[in-house]
Amino acid sequence: MSPMQLFIEYSIVGIAAGGIYALIALGIIVIFKASHTFNFAMGEMMMLSAYFFYAATVTFTLGPVVGMIVAMAGSILVALVIERVAIRPMLGRPFIAIVMVTFGIGSIIRGVVGMVWGPNEMNIPAILSRSPVMLGDIFVPGKTARAFAIAVVIVVGLIAYLRFSRAGVALRAAAESAVTAYSMGINVRNVVAFSWIIAAITGCISGVLMANVNTLTPHLGMIALNVLSVVILGGMASIGGVLVAGFIIGWLEAITGLFLPSEFREITPYVLVLIILLVKPTGLFGGKEVERI
Amino acid sequence: MSSTVDNSVMTTTKASPLTANRLWLLIFIVALAAMPLMLPGYWIFFAGLLGINIIATHGLNIMMGYTGLLSLGHAAFVGVGAYTVAILQGRYGMPFWVTIPAAGILATVIGIAFGLPSLRIRGLYLVIATLAAQFILHFVFVNWESVTNGDVGLSVAPAVVFGIALNDETSIYYLILFFVVVSTIFARNVIHSRVGRAFIAIRERDLTAQVIGVEIVWYKLLAFGLGSFYAGIAGALLAYFNRFVNPEQFGLLLSVFFLSAVIVGGMGSILGAILGAAFVTLLPEFLRETSLLIGSSLGFDLATILTPLRETIFGLIMVAFLILEPRGLAQLWTRTRRKLLRERA
Amino acid sequence: MLDIQNIQLAFGGVKALSGVSVSADTGKITAVIGPNGAGKTSLFNVISGFYKPQKGRVTLDGEDISSLKPHQRAYRGMARTFQNIALFHGMTVTDNIKLGAHTHLKSGILSAGLLLPITRREEADLEKEAAEVIELLELDKVRNDQVEDLAYGLQKRVELARALVMRPKILLLDEPVAGMNREEKSEMSRFVLRVKEDLNTTVLLIEHDMSMVMGISDAIVVLSFGEPIASGTPDEVRNNPEVIKAYLGSVDETTKSAA
């Protein structure tokens, strides 16, 4: 295979893997839009969902569909508890404090999962077929390809939903300004809770997909910190831009794997982040922050 | 205006409480110094560990509590200090009075290298940069095997001070105690000076800080550099304390540990950093002791859940304090003392 | 002392200031007035260095400071208060005031941390200076209170004190009596006059409140929609037909509505 072909193949696989990251990014941006909260616990919410799925399907031997429903319900419940107990009381506090709260929640979830399920790798029942998908002569691993397809369908579906539903309108109004939203008769609290539900859904699906493509450990969620970092640099402005960030991470990881030993994959997004900070310190698309004097 | 000078001097000098405070401080330090004579070695071990954590927490408190620069990568800078000692001593046989300052300086340089690009701007970018530092430096510890010996780690010979090898918990305790006292006084002095006031001004309102002449980027850099220096010193002491350095010690969990220490103690309080470090150092040990007791009576192996237990506890106290008592134990302490004083009056 | 020449400022095509010139004479109180949206605060932000105008110059004591950053202007002797109180919470009145002396002190991190004699001396001097300003502005009673516990008018006064510790050549006051009751207003006027008379500080202020401006200013510049429409002594301005028109009626009426 020529180097070019190899590059293209890796790129495609990478972008396919990026589908899941885009899903994670969507969960992050929705919460940000609703309440200007950066959710550093997104990855742990996702990881926890995968363990819920594991518990439902393996421990309680439910089928994958029922298992998915159970996992989803559990994830939404956890998200609502987090929002109600830890995020809502922080309303109006400095963003740094809220960042630390979500970071602390991530730590709690990692710890609890570690205590309940232990630190070892686990396998969840395969819900994705292994048989590879061929794009012309390019070979895409079956699970990655199917996970990508599912992720894209969910992302597109959710974006359409947010675009056209009443809830989506309310979300956009709240993103514009909480005061405006209030004056339009929108209950901003409900919008924030709603955004956590959306994040739980994207987290649950991405978690189960990720645990299918890789294996399940309490550190499954670490990848979301990568995604979050790149998303923040992307400017948090548009949902589209944020999705691109997801694909960029997938692609970068794959390309790193092509040139460097595989361990380097875990830090490439951070290296990218530092390079961007050096070259374009105001973020990729972001303008200069203007503060009221 | 000059006519008012004489009166105002009178009202500002309050000599007596200051000396009383000094006296208490002295008594306290003497008590700390006498501790190994009175307590079992097991306790001295924790006192030493606590001392190291206090120094690192002071560092994070200067950055985060006073200047408002959130760092999620403090553990990695502690790691830089520890590896500096392990390498300078192990490879080149350098004495502690070279390795410890070198650890501080290298941690500062690396900290600033990560922080500088984002210190120029406001907001979240520094958070991300420090997160990047955490993962990248940890990656370096693991993968730069020719220098760090990878996951296996490096062993460290005892520090030799005035010809005495500090090879047990008591002797190293005195070295740590010295650094704890110096670093606490230094931090306190900085905070009560022009520099510390500039830090606080930046944390509170950085536009106003500019108007009173504070060069924001420079002071952020100072705070970040000083915080990293403290981390480096703590790491250096940790290397001599454990006599062993490996990447596992400097993971994200340790960064969460320092964050929770600062938050629990009370952001922007020197006393708070000490209280917070004590709280998060001793709480898991206390819980471990009790859970080991319970565990063994149930015939249950608790050793495996120790790390996740800590992870849970640090997270929990961090969140709980942020929500319920954002100014931490220091505030609780002030309030209690005020109440006691009032009752006495 | 402070000379602002022909400032043009626009935000993405929207003109905020077009050709504004103001000069504050040494030892005098100069006021910039104008209705809301006239560009007063924009002008102040240009003077402090937060906004970069497209055109025009700011000169302080003969030196062109147009390209300097805010903190560099502070070192040249420019002090400022804010319309929305910008004190540092969680600190006492005295500590807030001490912050103002940043530009006069030299202690770096090492001399501060080691408490070298230079730092000790500086801190002792600062203690004295802060006490002087506290006396001047009659803040003795609250000197050890937390700033957030103070009444609004007192907080404004603390902000003024912090600016005075800078020993400024030029003091910029951004709506010093906004939101105050009548009593607080007259107190603040008294203190601004005292600053001018006792310390011989040059003052440039922007203000909504006509009675205050007319009462204490030596010279007044009137802005309307980013353009200067009149300037002169309070009496001249009061009788200027342009000004009366800009304020949609008589000066008396605006005094009432601003109060």
β-strands C202-206, C170-174 pairing: parallel
Answer yes or no: do C222 and C255 share one domain: yes
Do C153 and C240 lie in one domain? The reply is no
Interface test with A, best of B304, B312, B321, B327 (most A CBs within 10 A): B312
Domains in chain C, number: 2
How many CB atoms sit inside 10 A of residue A120's CB? 10
Residue in chain B closest to C199 (alpha carbons) equals: B1
Task: For residues B276 and B269, give the distance between their C-alpha atoms in angstroms, rounded to a whole number.
Answer: 10
Q: Which of C132, C144, C195 to mutate to test the interface with B (most CBs of B within 10 A)?
A: C132
Q: What are the residues facing C92 on neighbouring strands?
A: C146
- For the domain A3-279, what is the CATH code? 1.10.3470
Q: Are residues C176 and C252 in the same domain?
A: yes
Q: How confident is the prediction along chain C (259 residues), in pLDDT tens digits per residue?
A: 898 888 888 887 788 888 888 989 998 999 998 877 778 888 999 999 999 899 999 999 989 999 999 999 999 999 999 888 788 887 889 988 998 888 888 888 888 888 888 888 989 999 999 999 999 999 999 988 888 888 888 999 999 999 999 999 999 999 888 888 888 899 999 999 999 998 889 999 998 888 888 889 999 998 888 888 888 888 888 888 887 777 655 444 444 444 3
Note whether C216 and C162 are same-domain residues.
Answer: no
pLDDT at residue B125, as a whole number: 84
Q: Hey, are the CB atoms on B259 and A106 less than 8 Å from each other? A: no
In a domain, C13, yes or no: yes
Residue boundaries of the structural domains of chain A: 3-279
The partner residue sitting opposite C109, judged by closest CB among B7, B215, B222, is: B222
Higher confidence at residue A256 or residue A243?
A: A256
Per-residue pLDDT at B84 exceeds 90: yes
With a cut of 70, say whether residue B214 has pLDDT above it.
yes
Q: How many other C-beta atoms are found inside a 10 Å radius of the C-beta of residue B147?
A: 13
Chain A: touching chains (3 or more CB pairs < 8 Å): B, C
Strand partners, C79: C171
- Tokens standing for C7? 């400032």
A255 pLDDT higher than 80: yes
> Contact, B251 vs B138, CB < 8 A?
yes
d(CA A132, CA A139): 7
Among C167, C184, C214, the domain-final residue is: C167
Q: Is A43 on the interface with B (CB under 8 A)?
A: no
Number of domains in chain B: 1
CA distance B213 to B69: 20
Assess if residue C83 is contained within a domain.
Answer: no
Please say whether the dihedral angle defined by the alpha carbons of residues C129, C133, C136 and C139, taken in this order, is positive or negative. negative
| DSSP annotation of B249 | G
C236 Cα to chain A: minimum distance (Å) = 32
Q: How far apart are CA B200 and CA B191, in angstroms?
A: 9
> Which of residues C167, C197, C218 is at a domain's end?
C167
Is the pLDDT reported for residue B287 higher than 70?
yes
How many cross-chain Cβ pairs, A to B, lie less than 8 Å apart?
138
* pLDDT for residue B138 is more than 90: yes
Buried b (16+ CB within 10 A) or exposed e, B244-264: ebbbebbbbbbbbbbbbbbbb
Facing C99 at nearest CB: one of B212, B216, B222 = B212
What distance in Å separates the CA atoms of residue A150 and residue B312, rounded to the nearest whole number? 33
Write the CA distances from B208 to A273, B212, B214, B333, C73, integer angstroms.
30, 7, 9, 31, 13
- Picking from A101-105, A110-114, B204-208, which range would have the lowest pLDDT averaged per residue? B204-208
Say whether residue B145 is in contact with chain C using an 8 A CB cutoff: no
Mean pLDDT of chain B: 86
Residue C67 Cα distances to B213, C50, C54, C78, angstroms: 15, 11, 12, 14
Q: Which residues of A touch C (CB under 8 A)?
A: 293
Q: Is C82 inside any structural domain?
A: no
Do C28 and C142 fall within a single domain? no
Read off the pTM. 0.88
Residue A282: the pLDDT is 61
Q: Residue A26: is its pLDDT beyond 50?
A: yes
pLDDT tens digits, residue range A5-21?
A: 888 888 888 888 888 88
Query: How far does C158 lie from chain A, in Å, by closest CA?
Result: 19
Q: What is the pLDDT of residue C15?
A: 83
Host domain of residue B115: 21-249
Residue with tokens 């009593």: C183
Looking at the fold, whether C159 and C177 belong to one and the same domain comes out as: no
Residues from chain A that touch C50, judged by Cβ atoms under 8 A, are: 293
Q: Is residue C182 part of a domain?
A: yes
Burial of B38 (0-12, 13-18, 19+ CB in 10 A): exposed
In a domain, B339, yes or no: no
**Distance in angstroms (rounded) separating the CA atoms of residues C257 and C209:** 9
Is there a contact between C201 and C191 (Cβ–Cβ < 8 Å)?
no
Give, for B76, the enclosing helix (H) or strand (E).
helix B74-92
Rounded CA-CA distance B92/A97 in Å is 44
Question: Of the candidates C167, C201, C218, which is a domain's last residue?
Answer: C167
CA distances in angstroms from B268 to B208, B274, C121, listed in the order given: 19, 12, 25
Quick check: A115 and B305 CB within 8 A? yes
Closest Cα in chain A to C11: A290
B128 touches chain C (CB under 8 A): no
- Strands C202-206 vs C29-33: parallel, antiparallel or unpaired: parallel
Return the residue of A nearest to C84 by Cα.
A293
Q: Does C225 touch chain A (CB under 8 A)?
A: no
B196 touches C: beta carbon within 8 Å:
yes
Task: Report the CATH number that the domain containing residue C33 is assigned in CATH.
Answer: 3.40.50.300
Comparing CB atoms, the residue among C71, C122, C136 nearest residue B214 is C71
Q: Do C229 and C221 meet the contact criterion of CB atoms below 8 Å apart? A: no
List chain C residues with CB under 8 Å of B212: 74, 79, 99-100, 102-103, 162, 166
C73 and C179 inside one domain: yes
pLDDT confidence of residue A269: 86
Q: How does residue A106 score in pLDDT terms, banded at 50, 70 and 90? A: very high
Q: Is residue C156 part of a domain?
A: yes
Looking at CA atoms only, how far is residue C58 from chain A in angstroms?
Answer: 20
Question: Token digits for C19?
Answer: 């050709």
Q: Residue B223: pLDDT band by 50, 70, 90 thresholds?
A: very high
The predicted pLDDT at position C97 comes to 92
Segments forming the whole domain that contains residue C130: 88-167
Contact B314 A283 (CB under 8 A): no
Neighbours of chain B (3+ CB pairs under 8 A): A, C
